[in-house]
Amino acid sequence: MLVLVAPGQGAQTPGFLTPWLDLPGVEDRLRALSAAIDLDLVHYGTNADADEIRDTAIAQPLLVAAGLVSAAALGDAVTDFVPGAVAGHSVGEITAAVFAGVLDDTAALSLVRTRGLAMAEAAAVTETGMSALLGGDPEVSVAHLEKLGLTPANINGAGQIVAAGTLEQLAALAEDKPEGVRKVIALKVAGAFHTVHMAPAVETLAAAAKGLTPADPKVRYVSNKDGRAVATGAEVLERLVGQVANPVRWDLCMETFKELGATAIIEVCPGGTLVGLAKRALPGVRTLALKTPADLDAARELIAEHSAA
């Protein structure tokens, strides 16, 4: 059984969409999505520098658009390709909602544009950020973070937790790591996502969601909230709204993949982060990251071997 996953914020790099524009129809599709949300996705995916695409209001729709065009290339690769389950990390959940048939492209890009703007506005209130903890015991690390006033915003499994809070709290963490943690790495994000600092964005996103009509998932949609497969479009949308201010439990998502009998995972563009976690947490499961169209042939082979499993 093959799982299709979409990465979250921080996966983007300057120029990462450039090679994808060589595929027929990709630039036209990106320009249509750009027009729908008044944001030049082609420019930001090809010519913008790292600081420009670090902006939350730009990064989030850019990542969703990248996931959609790379997944479309996969869909063309194998007739009637349908994954056994889909999931996304943080903003990647919106990408996954399109994969599952809950939202169409336009609704997803409209929602993520609102999400990015609202989260950027919330992040501007207080100087906050996020840092990844590598290694250590999760229970020990979580207790230590709470002692410092930090939130375990992403519990990613495979020995990785992401802490979020004020810059002062993160500086204290850098000086006082939890026992067993090898390294604390500051992430290139603009705020303390998936924490109480994002509460103002939830209200904005909830208002935007009222204008959408979600369909029920056509394939299993595995939620960041608790790793559970969600059966209705209404609940998927409700979780997308609330998840902005609540921790990402990617560890539980991967546990669900294992329980479902996953044999392969493909991470859409800009892939790499989630398959890295899967390699450590799900030994024996084949993984592939879609970084450029050069990865499509290997993806075709993986789909042929595992999509019917």
In-domain check, residue 267: yes
Instruction: Answer yes or no: do 77 and 176 share one domain.
Output: no
CATH of the domain at 262: 3.40.366.10
Distances (CA, A) of 110 to 5, 39, 42, 114, 145: 21, 11, 17, 6, 35
pTM: 0.94
- Asked whether residue 63 is domain-assigned, the answer is yes
How many residues does the structure list for the chain?
Answer: 309
- For the beta sheet containing 181-186, the strands, ordered from the edge strand earlier in sequence to the opposite edge, are 151-157, 160-166, 128-135, 181-186
Q: Are residues 91 and 222 in the same domain?
A: yes
Strands 128-135 and 160-166, by their bridges, are: antiparallel
Q: Is residue 308 part of a domain?
A: no
From 89, 144, 194, 306, the catalytic residue: 194
The domain boundary, picked from 139, 168, 186, lies at: 186
Residue 45 domain-assigned?
yes
> Does 13 map to a domain?
yes
**Does 95 share its domain with 205?**
yes
Same domain, 214 and 88: yes
Q: Which residues of 178-197 are buried (b: 16+ CB within 10 A; e: fewer)?
A: beebeebeebbbbbbbbbeb
Whether residue 11 is contained in a domain is answered as yes
Question: Using CA atoms, how far apart are residues 95 and 102, in angstroms rounded to an integer?
Answer: 10
Does a structural domain hold residue 17?
Answer: yes
Q: How many domains does the chain have?
A: 2
Set 90, 131, 141, 307: catalytic member: 90
Note whether 101 and 246 are same-domain residues. Answer: yes
Going residue by residue through the chain, which has 309 residues, state the pLDDT in tens, using 9 for 90 and above. Answer: 999 999 999 899 999 999 999 999 999 999 999 999 999 999 999 999 999 999 999 999 999 999 999 999 987 655 467 899 999 999 999 999 999 999 999 999 999 999 999 999 999 999 999 999 999 999 999 999 999 999 999 999 988 899 999 999 999 999 999 999 999 999 878 899 999 999 999 999 999 999 999 999 999 999 999 999 999 999 999 999 999 999 999 999 999 999 999 999 999 999 999 999 999 999 999 999 999 999 999 999 999 998 754
Q: Domain ends where: 186, 212, 231? A: 186
What kind and span of H or E run contains 128?
Answer: strand 128-135
Q: Are residues 40 and 90 in the same domain?
A: yes
Integer Cα distance of 216 and 220 in angstroms: 10
Identify the domain containing residue 159 by its residue range. Answer: 128-186
Q: Is residue 90 among the annotated active site residues?
A: yes
d(CA 234, CA 209): 10
Residue at which a domain ends, from 186, 207, 236: 186
Is 155 found in the same domain as 253?
no
